[in-house]
């Protein structure tokens, strides 16, 4: 029996057509994957199903009740406890007074069921690690007794071990007859958890079927509407130039990057990769360490973003919405933020193939992939010759990802030194020349990419008696 | 259209019927009276006095309209400046002003004069020779009266405290200085604190008085406060900390509460001015000036000390109970 | 864990520090720390404390109310007028509280229905309520006849067993009740939830608009009670009283750990904040410092308290 059927759903925002005829069926107890490039209409579709948006046309049947929408920490209360977050709106109470014990007990039961009893019911959610926060969101959906659960990129901030646990609990949800709509860019994971998928492109559902009957290439072709070349571009390594950045014990890391080289940093979420990158850029204060940029020695305690930008270092945050973009400012202003003068907006838009209606429109009107391109264009316009990129392809559709890989390689060929943090092993192997692995605040030795295998990276990342696996 | 024509006709007829040379008797005067505030009884009395003047003058055949306009906030010079400026374009004949500040109001007053609008100043001085007349109580003398009465009650020896009103107000500063000067004549009396301020409202005065009474309450025999709100707040504080009646307390200005306190023996004297007369004379002086009569440059409207013994004397009662109700409308509260 | 405890204790330490420093500065510590002076300070704190109970709720929910001072003036006039017209005291007190609640309800409606941000909505109400108070009072102070209400804020209660003013007890009871409500009831936790993440609160099925109207109304009732205290303290309704008091009340909440971005704050902290400011004023006066020094010190204390709080928060959690 279908938990939900959509027929011909349409939705416009002003002049933009976000959904232009989406059909979709999901059965009770089924996981249905929804895939598509960023800007294909996935978020709009989920919002329609969740009831947050009214569709302009089409049919939703039955009118969905008890839908839970899990979207990357946006629906948490950072100041409140885990138990309060899980049971928000359905607190056990008598005469309006909360029964604290019953509440903690119910929260604990749900956390146990999810296999995460180490998260305490009275922990403050704002202090939890991202993976644990996700668990809290899922437990809330369980507590809400949702019949349909929408998950938007639920694994993007999770370690592999947590992904495994997430999938186990999704299967439990299905066993209870709950329907799950699962949006993700990770095709491997999709195949792991879902049997069927719907592909969205330009607001339409262009393909639906069983995943067993389609290859990745086939799926991607449906998503971008044309055949794809090798995703990572040509990988003929150039002869690396001189060392332009050397880091001595900053954030537990010591390494060198050369002109024309792409150095990848792997590691688990929370292993200190982002912290190290931020410290090198001067965003966070560090107790000690030294940086050598070309021939200039700098005490790590005296680093600052202003000085780093002056020295030609560019930093791309892993969280473009919070730390990268000025959402209400225009594309033009966002580009010009680090260097106001001599901006050739049109040139950058053309070079990076940014899809923007009007460069004076607020940057939020762009899709996620195009927003990311705007941020990369900002670094290039700034004239950065050393790029620190933190998860440059997070939350970006497959087509744009390929473009960004190509761009990163081109930038290296032009003589820039690139440091790239990523949680996605295939892209590290596809793009980088050298690789090092972060493990609990310490960086391994840098080795050429050929000397690493996915297994050896994983081992370096979780080695040393970690219980994570 | 026809109505307007008729009205114009009537107007020209009225004008032409006036004797040549424009006898002022036929003219009508709009006089703006601008106090420092609206809620203190003192200003109400000035208002009532001004209304009385306008009614009496009307009976004498002079058409006078009084426009009463208090600044919105009572402790804000800027607001009063705006009120004065606001009147410049309203076609008024003259301004009767109780300036909040001796300097801040100089510019608007002199601008008014250039625009042909003269100003009479009440109560608190203004550093300008462009005003028609200055009518005020002799505030310094008022402070001296308080000091003399204090010395008499304390038999010439003891420790006393002066709780000042607020920085930069000419009238109360004169009273405070008068008290300080007056006390100097009595070597047996020591002024142990005279640098604290009560602030603008009864509430701030009460708070300040409570705090000072805790600090000095056991040492002092007398207190003087220089205006209505500081006296009122201090009286409340004395009652609350159970020191009322035990400390000789002399205040300034009048209110029902002060009269009751004097009967109860918790207040031992008040220096009162004559704001009703001030308002009445202010309007009359302005009208005289407008009608071309010579007026005094400086008028003392009088201060007087009222003690519990002299409370029921006829002249005291007249000062204490100006006929407000006769001249002012009550608010919607209607009490 | 230890840093949390320290953070909880910080306001108490601040209060103790202020009291001790001034005890020595006055040169008469025995007098400064005497029971009568403590009674004086407590009685002086009542109005700000009761106001801060309401304000804490509003600030925790992510809002702000700038109209408190005006509402207190309005309700103090209303109480005095009611007594003046020979209403029974209980009716006068009730009328003030209800009037305060109505003012709050209007604030809440403007915020939710007209979608005006709280800062602007209550800035408007600041003027409307002040003007209303002056109109109601006929631009005069309204004397209140002698009733038991006058006893509420008296420094030394006539019944010696009460030790401190009845108003102090009332404020204490109100604070305890509000603290319980904020910490332990569904309503209170939803107040925190709205301040912490309003969008998520909507998604969890919390009636955010209704809650906000309720929060502003309840806080308004507290402001009405503060108005009664103000009348009791001055024995009259004064339409010009409590101008600028909203800033004292907001400062008390903020010194006590309230965050203007919502989701954080507590009644206990706000009470300490109110006491710190009252002791400062009392102390400065008794040392004999002029008013401007008091103003500078109180201003500096607010900034220092908030700076310490945000430093402690940064250390307390490694989450950005």
pLDDT at B22 over 60: no
Domain enclosing residue B226, as ranges: 139-272
Spans of all domains in chain C: 2-145+162-314
| Statement to judge: residues B210 and B147 lie in one domain | yes
Q: Which residues pair with A81 in a beta bridge?
A: A124
State which residues of chain C have pLDDT below 70.
1-8, 312-320
Distance CA C69, CA B73 (A): 14
Min mean pLDDT across A254-268, B139-153, C43-57 is at A254-268
User: Domain tally for chain B?
Assistant: 2
Cα distance between residue C273 and residue C277, in whole Å: 6
Give the pLDDT score at A177: 87
| Chain B with chain C: Cβ pairs closer than 8 A | 114
Residues B120 and B198 in one domain: no
Percent of chain A past pLDDT 70, that is, above it, reads 92
pLDDT at B124 over 70: yes
Give domain status of residue B166, yes or no: yes
Whether residue B163 sits in one domain with residue B114: no
Q: pLDDT band at B226, cuts 50/70/90?
A: very high
Taking the C-alpha atoms of residue A381 and residue A342, their distance in angstroms, rounded to an integer, is: 9
Q: Examine the domain organization and report whether B229 and B112 are in the same domain.
A: no
Q: Cα separations (Å) of A216 from A35, A431, A464?
A: 12, 19, 35
Distance (Å) from the C-alpha of residue C219 to the closest C-alpha of chain B?
23
B167 and B237 in one domain? yes
Per-residue pLDDT at A14 exceeds 70: no
- Closest of A43, A47, A49, A29 to residue A170, by C-alpha: A29
* B56 in a structural domain: yes
Indicate the helix (H) or strand (E) that contains B108. helix B106-114
The verdict on B133 and B280 lying in the same domain is yes
Q: Is C205 on the interface with A (CB under 8 A)?
A: yes
Per DSSP (E only), the strands in chain C are 142-143, 236-237
Q: Give which of B240, B243, B324, B334 to mutate to test C binding, by max C Cβ within 10 Å.
A: B240
* B294 in the same domain as B174: no
C-alpha distances (whole Å) from B58 to each of B33, B92, B286, B323 are 17, 17, 14, 19
Confidence class for position A66, pLDDT limits 50, 70, 90: confident
Domain membership of residue B319 (yes or no) is no
pLDDT one-digit tens code per residue, B272-286: 999 999 999 999 999
Q: Is residue B55 part of a domain?
A: yes
Residues B103 and B208 in one domain: no
pLDDT for position B166: 87
> What does the pLDDT read at residue B74?
64
pLDDT computed for residue C70 by the predictor: 97
Given this model, what pLDDT does residue A231 score?
Answer: 52
Per-residue pLDDT for B120 more than 50?
Answer: yes
pLDDT of residue A39: 64
How confident is the model over A448-457, as pLDDT tens digits?
998 988 778 8
Q: Are B258 and B266 in contact (CB under 8 A)?
A: no
Whether residue B263 is contained in a domain is answered as yes
Substitution target in C23, C25, C78, C141 with the highest count of B β-carbons within 10 Å is C141
Together in a domain, B108 and B233: no
Take residue B168 and report the two structure tokens written for it.
């930069």
The 3-state DSSP class for residue B167 equals coil
Q: What digits encode the pLDDT tens for the residues C289-303? A: 877 787 888 888 888
pLDDT of residue B242: 86
Per the domain annotation, does B20 fall within a domain? Answer: no
Which residue among B196, B214, B335 places its CB closest to the CB of C36?
A: B214
User: Domain C2-145+162-314 is of which CATH architecture?
Assistant: Orthogonal Bundle (1.10)
Chain A touched by C196 (CB under 8 Å):
yes
pLDDT of C317 reads 47
d(CA C252, CA C271): 7
CB A78 within 8 A of CB A125: yes
For residue C144, the 8-state DSSP code is P
Chains that touch A (3 or more CB pairs under 8 A): C
Contacts of C151 in chain B (CB under 8 A): none
CB–CB of A79 and C187 under 8 A?
A: no
The encoded tokens of residue A426 equal 């295939």
Same domain, B131 and B278: yes
Residue B87 is assigned to a structural domain of this protein: yes
User: What does the block give as tokens for B250?
Assistant: 């002399």
Gap from A103 CA to chain C (nearest CA, Å): 11
Give the minimum alpha-carbon distance from C116 to chain A in angstroms, rounded to a whole number.
20
Cβ neighbors of A451 (< 8 A, separation 6 or more) are none
CA–CA dist A80, A169 (Å, integer): 24
What's the average model confidence in pLDDT over A150-173? 80
Choice among A41-45, B228-232, C205-209 with the minimum mean pLDDT: A41-45
Mind telling me how many Å the CA of C35 is from chain B's nearest CA? 10
Sign of the torsion angle spanned by Cα atoms B140, B144, B150, B153? negative
Q: Which residues of B touch C43 (CB under 8 A)?
A: 210, 240
Alpha carbon dihedral C51, C53, C54, C57, in 10-degree steps, equals 150
- Please report which helix (H) or strand (E) contains residue A198, including its range: strand A196-201
pLDDT (0 to 100) of residue B7: 47
Same domain, B278 and B298: yes
Nearest CA of chain C to the CA of B200: how many Å? 9
Does residue A278 sit at the C interface (CB-CB below 8 Å)? Answer: no
Q: Residue B109 sits in a domain of what CATH number?
A: 3.40.50.2300
Are B41 and B108 in a shared domain?
yes
Output the DSSP codes for C215-270.
HHHHHHHHHHHHHHHHHHHHTEE-TTTTTTHHHHHHHHHHHTT--TTSS---HHHH
Evaluate whether C271 touches C52 at the Cβ level (below 8 Å). Answer: yes
Q: Which of C186, C195, C200 sits opposite A76 (nearest CB)?
A: C200
Contact across the interface for A78 and C195, Cβ inside 8 Å: no
Q: Which residue of A has its CA nearest to C264?
A: A79
Q: Where are the beta strands (DSSP E) in B132-239?
A: 133-136, 158-164, 189-197, 222-224
Q: How confident is the model at residue A464 (pLDDT cuts 50, 70, 90)?
A: low
Q: Do C37 and B214 touch (CB under 8 A)?
A: yes
In a domain, residue B313? The reply is no
CB contact under 8 A, C240 and B201: yes
Any chain B CB within 8 A of the CB of C22?
no
Q: What is the ipTM of this complex?
A: 0.81
> pLDDT tens for residues B38-82?
777 788 889 999 999 999 999 999 999 999 988 766 666 777 888
Whole-model pTM above 0.90? Answer: no
Chain length of chain C: 320
Give the pLDDT band of residue A442 (cuts 50, 70, 90): confident
Question: What does the DSSP 8-state code read for residue A64?
Answer: -
Q: Is A65 on the interface with C (CB under 8 A)?
A: no
């Amino acid at each position: 029996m279908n938990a939900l059927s959509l027929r011909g759903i349409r939705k416009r925002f002003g002049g933009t057509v976000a959904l232009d005829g989406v059909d979709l069926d999901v059965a009770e107890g089924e996981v249905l994957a929804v895939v598509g490039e960023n800007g294909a209409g996935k978020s709009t579709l989920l919002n329609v199903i969740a009831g947050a948006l009214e569709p302009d046309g089409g049919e939703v049947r039955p009118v969905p009740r008890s839908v839970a929408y899990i979207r990357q920490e946006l629906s948490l209360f950072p100041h409140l406890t885990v138990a309060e977050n899980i049971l928000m709106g359905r607190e056990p109470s008598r005469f309006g007074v909360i029964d604290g014990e019953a509440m903690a007990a119910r929260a604990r039961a749900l956390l146990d069921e999810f296999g995460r009893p180490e998260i305490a019911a009275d922990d403050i959610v704002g202090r939890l690690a991202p993976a644990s926060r996700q668990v809290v969101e899922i437990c809330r959906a369980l507590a809400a007794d949702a019949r349909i659960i929408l998950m938007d990129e639920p694994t993007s901030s999770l370690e592999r071990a947590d992904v495994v646990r997430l999938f186990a609990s999704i299967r439990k949800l299905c066993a209870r007859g709950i329907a799950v709509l699962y949006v993700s860019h990770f095709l491997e994971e999709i195949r792991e958890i879902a049997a069927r998928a719907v592909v969205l492109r330009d607001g339409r559902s262009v393909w639906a079927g069983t995943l067993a009957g389609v290859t990745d290439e086939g799926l991607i072709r449906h998503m971008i509407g044309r055949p794809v070349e090798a995703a990572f571009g040509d990988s003929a390594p150039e002869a690396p130039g001189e060392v332009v950045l050397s880091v001595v014990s900053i954030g537990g890391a010591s390494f060198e990057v050369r002109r024309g080289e792409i150095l990848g940093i792997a590691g688990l979420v929370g292993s200190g990769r982002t912290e190290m990158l931020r410290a090198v850029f001067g965003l966070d204060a560090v107790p000690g360490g030294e940086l050598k940029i070309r021939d200039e020695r700098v005490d790590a305690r005296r680093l600052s973003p202003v000085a780093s930008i002056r020295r030609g270092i560019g930093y791309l945050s892993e969280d473009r919405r919070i730390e990268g973009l000025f959402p209400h400012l225009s594309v033009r202003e966002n580009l010009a933020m680090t260097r106001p003068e001599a901006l050739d907006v049109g040139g950058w838009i053309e070079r990076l193939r940014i899809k923007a209606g009007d460069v004076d429109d607020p940057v939020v009107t762009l899709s996620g992939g195009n927003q990311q391109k705007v941020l990369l264009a900002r670094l290039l316009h700034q004239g950065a010759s050393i790029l620190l990129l933190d998860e440059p392809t997070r939350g970006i559709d497959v087509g744009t990802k390929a473009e960004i890989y190509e761009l990163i390689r081109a930038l290296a060929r032009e003589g820039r030194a690139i440091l790239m943090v990523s949680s996605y092993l295939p892209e590290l192997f596809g793009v980088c020349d050298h690789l090092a692995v972060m493990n609990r605040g310490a960086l391994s030795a840098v080795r050429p990419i050929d000397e690493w295998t996915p297994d050896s990276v994983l081992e370096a990342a979780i080695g040393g008696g970690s219980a994570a696996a | 259209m026809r109505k307007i024509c008729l009205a114009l006709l009537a107007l020209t007829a009225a004008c032409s019927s006036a004797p040549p040379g424009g006898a002022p008797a036929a003219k009508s005067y709009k006089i703006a009276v601008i106090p420092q505030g609206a809620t203190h009884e003192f200003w109400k009395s000035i208002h009532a006095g001004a209304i009385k003047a306008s009614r009496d003058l009307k009976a004498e055949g002079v058409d006078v309209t009084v426009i009463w306009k208090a600044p919105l906030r009572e402790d804000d010079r800027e607001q009063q400046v705006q009120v004065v400026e606001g009147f410049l374009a309203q076609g008024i004949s003259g301004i009767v002003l109780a300036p909040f500040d001796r300097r801040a109001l100089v510019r608007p007053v002199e601008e008014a004069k250039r625009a042909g609008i003269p100003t009479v100043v009440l109560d608190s001085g203004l550093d300008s020779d462009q005003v028609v007349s200055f009518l005020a109580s002799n505030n310094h003398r008022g402070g001296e009266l308080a000091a003399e009465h204090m010395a008499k009650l304390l038999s010439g020896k003891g420790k006393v405290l002066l709780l000042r009103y607020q920085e930069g107000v000419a009238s109360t500063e004169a009273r405070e200085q008068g008290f300080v000067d007056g006390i100097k004549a009595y070597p047996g009396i020591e002024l142990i604190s005279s640098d604290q301020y009560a602030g603008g409202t009864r509430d701030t005065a009460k708070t300040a008085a409570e705090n000072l009474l805790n600090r000095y309450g056991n040492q002092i025999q007398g207190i003087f406060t220089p205006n209505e709100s500081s006296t009122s707040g201090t009286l409340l504080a004395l009652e609350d900390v159970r020191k009322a009646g035990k400390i000789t307390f002399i205040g300034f200005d009048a209110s029902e509460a002060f009269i009751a306190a004097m009967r109860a023996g918790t207040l031992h004297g008040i220096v009162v001015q004559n704001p009703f007369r001030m308002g009445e004379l202010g309007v009359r002086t302005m009208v005289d000036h407008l009608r071309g009569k010579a007026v005094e440059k400086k008028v003392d409207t009088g201060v007087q000390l009222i003690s519990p013994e002299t409370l029921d004397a006829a002249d005291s009662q007249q000062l204490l109970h100006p006929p407000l109700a006769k001249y002012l409308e009550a608010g919607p509260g209607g009490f | 864990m230890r840093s949390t405890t320290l953070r909880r204790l910080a306001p108490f330490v601040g209060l103790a520090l202020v009291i001790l420093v001034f005890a020595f500065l006055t040169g008469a510590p025995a007098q400064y720390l005497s029971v009568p002076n403590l009674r004086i300070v407590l009685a002086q704190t009542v109005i700000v404390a009761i106001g801060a109970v309401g304000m804490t709720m509003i600030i925790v929910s992510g809002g702000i109310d700038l109209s408190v001072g005006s509402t207190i003036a309005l309700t103090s006039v209303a109480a005095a007028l009611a007594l003046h017209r020979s209403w029974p005291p209980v009716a006068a007190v009730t009328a003030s509280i209800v009037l305060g609640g109505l003012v709050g309800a209007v604030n809440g409606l403007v915020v939710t229905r007209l979608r005006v941000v709280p800062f602007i909505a209550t800035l408007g109400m600041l003027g409307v309520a002040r003007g209303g108070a002056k109109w109601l009072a006929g631009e005069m102070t309204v004397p209140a006849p002698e009733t038991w209400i006058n006893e509420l804020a008296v420094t030394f209660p006539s019944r010696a067993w009460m030790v401190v003013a009845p108003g102090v007890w009332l404020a204490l009871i109100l604070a305890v009740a509000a603290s319980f409500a904020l910490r332990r009831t569904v309503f209170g936790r939803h107040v925190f939830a709205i301040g912490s993440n309003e969008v998520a609160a909507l998604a969890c099925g919390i009636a955010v608009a209704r809650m906000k109207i309720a929060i502003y109304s309840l806080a308004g009732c507290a402001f009405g009670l503060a108005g009664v205290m103000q009348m009791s303290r001055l024995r009259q309704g004064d339409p010009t009283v409590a101008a600028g008091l909203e800033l004292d009340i907001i400062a008390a909440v903020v010194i006590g750990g309230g965050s203007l971005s919502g989701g954080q704050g507590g009644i206990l902290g706000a009470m300490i904040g109110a006491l710190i400011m009252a002791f400062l004023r009392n102390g400065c006066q008794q040392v004999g410092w002029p008013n401007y020094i008091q103003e500078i010190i109180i201003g500096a204390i607010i900034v220092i308290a908030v700076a310490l709080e945000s430093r402690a928060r940064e250390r307390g959690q490694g989450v950005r």
